[in-house]
Amino acid sequence: MATDALLRLEAVSKRFPGGTLGLDAVDLDIAEGEFLSLLGPSGCGKTTTLRVIAGFEAPTGGTVRLDGRDVTALRPFARPVNTVFQDYALFPHMDVSENVGFGLSLRPIAAGERRRRVADALERVGLADKAGQRVQALSGGQKQRVALARAIVCEPRLLLLDEPLSALDANLREQMQIELKRLQRELGTTFVMVTHDQTEALSISDRIVVMNRGRIEQAASPAELYDRPATRFVASFIGAMNLVPGRVLARDGARSASVATAGMTLTASLDAASSLRAGDRVLAGLRPEDLAIATACTAGAAAGTVEGSVFHGRSLRVHVRLDDDGPELIVDVARGGGAAAPKAGDRVAVALRPGSACALLPADPDGAATAPSA
């Protein structure tokens, strides 16, 4: 793990009463100034991880270090950490300014300095003109901004966000994603966000930690997770992906290989440390947008029959069953352009788009294809 981490979790475990395992020996480094998202389905351990970092939950085992200091046993108020809660947790009897300044009022800070910091925090979140308003009169997005201002006004080293945008509608959520990232860059503060929304995590994170059953499946940049998922779970959880069995034909240098899969010969991108060699069985990951449909079967393409399609706005997600009891592939096809949309029963060919590559994962023991994740 990195030596310059702001926060370090060392073999952190959590077992709840009754024996339920929340975290299983989690190791994680979070760098100074990083925007990191904890991503996964319900019950994966992401919220438990956040609560352990905040001090709301005591780990069963392991160590939490902040700036090299063991803070495992420190109470939440003794840590330089603030949390933005999913339900905002604002005080209804206080106005906006009083809500934002509440944490400062508990500290030995002069009134003038307190007013300056509250005004600065409200300016940063775009609510300088709402300082005297009651929080009940605010919209959901404005309440979220008040909660953010209250969290940053105390100048924490680490800001934790628990599903901060889940209560907002789609348009406002996208706007707040931009605002969150802008605020994080301006402050230079380390943000750790819990979310179950893959698009949200991919949009604003410097790095994403994908969790499943109390363990970390993969921690990487959004592009690395999307292009080179390390496990079958990550491949199926991050976006849509076809997973089909294949075999390595040859290594083409350190970072690529030729793979035979689903009747096609494809190029796969590899990690430089990959030990794969010719003849190895693999699971090939094919993104729907990296595949193309043609009416004639050419070299390197696989023939099949359209089983149906799903309308996705600017594109159609077409389901194709390959010949000879082959796997079902999902392919994204752009609408418009004068070409007729594929329809059920059409005979087509599927090929990898020029310049695209597939991802490679360890083969399933039985060699079976996986139903595509849509």
pLDDT, tens digit, 9 for 90 and up, residues 25-42: 999 999 999 999 999 999
Say how far apart CA 185 and CA 207 lie, in whole Å.
14
Task: Give yes or no: residues 200 and 275 share one domain.
Answer: no
C-alpha 232/C-alpha 285 separation (Å) is: 9
Query: Is residue 238 within 8 Å of 222, Cβ to Cβ?
Result: no
Residue 295 has pLDDT above 80, yes or no: no
The C-alpha atoms of residue 146 and residue 153 are separated, in whole angstroms, by: 10
Based on the domain organization, do 223 and 298 belong to the same domain?
Answer: no
Per the prediction, the chain carries an average pLDDT of 91
Give the global pTM. 0.90
Single-letter amino acid, residue 74:
L
78/222 same-domain check: yes
Q: Are residues 168 and 46 in the same domain?
A: yes
Write out pLDDT tens, residues 51-100: 999 999 999 999 999 999 999 999 999 999 999 988 888 999 999 999 99
Domain boundary among 163, 195, 227: 227
> Which domain-ending residue is among 198, 227, 256?
227
Tell me which of 275 and 247 has the higher pLDDT.
Answer: 247
The whole-angstrom separation of Cα 283 and Cα 364 is: 7
C-alpha angle 225-228-230 in degrees, rounded to nearest 5 = 80
In a domain, 288, yes or no: yes
Give the whole-number percent of the chain exceeding pLDDT 90: 71
H helix or E strand, kind and range, residue 201: helix 198-204
Q: Per-residue pLDDT tens for 206-233? A: 999 999 999 999 999 999 999 999 999 9
Residue 134 DSSP one-character state: B
Residue 369 lies in a domain: no
Report yes or no on 232 lying in a domain.
Answer: no
82/188 Cα distance (integer angstroms): 15
Q: Is residue 235 part of a domain?
A: no
HEC string of 243-271? EEEEEEEEECCCCEEEEEECCEEEEEECC
Q: Measuring CA to CA, how many Å separate 136 from each of 91, 146, 150, 152, 324?
A: 9, 12, 16, 21, 63
Element housing 277 (H / E): none
Specify whether 248 is located in the same domain as 168.
no
Query: The domain spanning residue 342 has which CATH number?
Result: 2.40.50.140
Same domain? For 265 and 165 the reply is no
In this predicted structure, the answer to whether residue 366 has a pLDDT above a threshold of 60 is: no
Q: What is the pLDDT of residues 131-187, one digit of tens each?
A: 999 999 999 889 989 999 999 999 999 999 999 888 788 888 888 899 999 999 999
Among 227, 259, 284, the domain boundary falls at: 227
Q: Are residues 187 and 302 in the same domain?
A: no
Q: What is the CATH number of the domain that holds 185?
A: 3.40.50.300
What residues form DSSP beta bridges with 328? Answer: 321
Domain contains 340:
yes
Query: How many CB atoms are located within 10 Å of the residue 13 CB?
Result: 16
Contact assessment for residue 201 and residue 212, using Cβ atoms and an 8 Å cutoff: no
The answer to whether the beta carbons of residues 291 and 350 sit under 8 Å apart is yes
Asked whether residue 186 falls in the same domain as residue 257, the answer is no
Question: Is 234 inside a domain boundary?
Answer: no
186, 52: one domain: yes
Task: Answer yes or no: do 135 and 249 share one domain.
Answer: no
Does residue 368 belong to any structural domain of this protein? no
Residues 325 and 216 in one domain: no
pLDDT at residue number 280: 94
- Cα separation, 277 vs 274, in Å, equals 9
Closest of 277, 242, 246, 288 to residue 264, by C-alpha: 246
| Phi, psi for 231 (deg, rounded to 5) | -135, 165
**Which domain, by its residues, includes 261?**
240-362
Number of domains making up the chain: 2
Check whether 365 has a pLDDT greater than 80. no
CA-nearest of 325, 330, 324 to 307 is 330
Position 92, amino acid: P
Neighbouring CB atoms inside 10 A of 119's CB total 16
As given in the structure block, the two tokens for residue 191 are 């943000």
Residue 131 lies in a domain: yes
Judgement on whether residues 252 and 178 belong to the same structural domain of the protein: no
pLDDT at 118 over 80: yes
C-alpha distances out from residue 178 to 175, 181, 182, 356, Å: 5, 5, 6, 29
- The pLDDT tens digits of the residues spanning 2-11 come to 557 999 999 9
